[in-house]
Structure 1
């Protein structure tokens, strides 16, 4: 997996390197590059990453993107988190928010939801292992590199995972047009919020295993919102309630 861009590298450098699978970081061999790129190269070297240099056109061939900003990260694979380790880590927390993505297929939607999830302080994201977008260079780019800032786990059976979360004290809320208005909902201290497929929404069994359905009221002239937009509205409302609860 070849990632590119300075923001992506900047975020990657804030993560524990032992959790990453970086094979090498390749910088442009152009002379007279700006100080920002030089600083990133020095920090990458200080963190112990393998550093190489290439001509700009070769960097473009690596990542298939001409606007690579002078750096390409050669990643063996995306570092998905382990679900059991994640649940153990948040078990003692008083509050927690997990974002459940039920077969989100558009990479841009996935990247945007990751970015929103980090912005609201969510604890983790769970995606389905089948019929779902993977974490690809495109997803990382849309997330502005923030895909490395939040644990992301892959789930085989989302409905079963909901039951596991309930055993851990979570309440499950699914975004659905038949639900109560999101601003009337009161979240539990530990909440998992489900967002469904772009065309079909949350699947029937996943919906049935949820504790409550929540919706975004809108004018009759609009059928629905993009799932990334819906996630932003609902997740920021969850953040608002958490902030009020801490006052």
Structure 2
């Protein structure tokens, strides 16, 4: 994997980045700016499903590292994304049943980094994240993953529910973490499995939950009602590890 420049500023640089096939996670454009080059950039962003935000000049000035943003700043992925098939190939090469971790809308880059770190140590073959309303592979994620991002592939998909459907046809079954699920110790979590973890606030979305074969809960003894998303991912991943042994 190669490390990429994170912040891309200026019209030509941003257009170049799109055209060279770089993964741009987010594009910030000066609100009300309508000239030709900017319109071209917006068109590219829409074509690539990039998150687009219109912001004030003050906000762009704050974000700018060069001081010459010309009304556009793009955030590129810090790392290359993998394809879902690449992840399955890794499992096959290791002669192991696929073990995937799917994240439904994790927005906090520290949580994403921590989950990638856990995925690596638990022997998961890869992590799958959605394009929208979720953290991408930023420098913060890379740092928090403590190097795991160099070894554990992350795939980015347009539609998580559809991806689950496609993977089910390949014999993988899915369990999602949900407070109202069956206690995880009572479930059989062996074989080809995808573990689905929901966002910090909302949990797993209804659409994605409906595609899962099981819902599993983590037994809670305390006085508050939920674990941090990355801790929940770790607890459940290691129950899967225990059962797969």
Deviation, 1:80, is: 0.8
The two structures, once aligned, show a CA RMSD in angstroms of 2.0
4+ runs deviating over 6 angstroms = none
CA contact under 8 A between 1:80 and 1:153: conserved in structure 2? yes
CA contact under 8 A between 2:164 and 2:211: conserved in structure 1? yes
Q: C-alpha deviations, 1:183-221, integer Å up to 9, x for none?
A: 111113100000001100000010000000000121362
Counterpart residue number, 1:97: 99
| d(CA) in 2 for partners of 1:20, 1:121 | 22
Deviation, 1:83, is: 2.0
Equivalent residue for 1:123, pick from 108, 125, 128: 125
CA gap of 1:167–1:140, structure 2 versus 1, over 3 A, is same
| d(CA) in 1 for partners of 2:87, 2:148 | 18
Structure 1: runs of 5+ lacking an equivalent: 1-18, 24-63, 65-74
| d(CA) in 2 for partners of 1:130, 1:197 | 12
Deviation, 1:82, is: 1.5
Equivalent residue for 2:157, pick from 155, 168, 184: 155
Counterpart residue number, 2:69: none
| d(CA) in 1 for partners of 2:77, 2:225 | 41
CA gap of 1:193–1:21, structure 2 versus 1, over 3 A, is same
| d(CA) in 2 for partners of 1:89, 1:221 | 41
Deviation, 1:77, is: 4.3
1:20 has 2:2 as partner: yes
CA contact under 8 A between 1:170 and 1:188: conserved in structure 2? no
1:166 has 2:148 as partner: no
Counterpart residue number, 1:133: 135
| d(CA) in 2 for partners of 1:21, 1:142 | 15
Counterpart residue number, 2:231: 229
| d(CA) in 1 for partners of 2:174, 2:234 | 17
**SS in structure 2 of the partner of residue 108 of structure 1:** helix
CA contact under 8 A between 1:179 and 1:215: conserved in structure 2? yes
Pairs aligned (count): 175
CA contact under 8 A between 1:159 and 1:206: conserved in structure 2? yes
TM-score normalised to structure 2 length: 0.67
| d(CA) in 2 for partners of 1:149, 1:227 | 22
Counterpart residue number, 2:82: 81
Counterpart residue number, 1:209: 211
CA gap of 1:132–1:90, structure 2 versus 1, over 3 A, is same
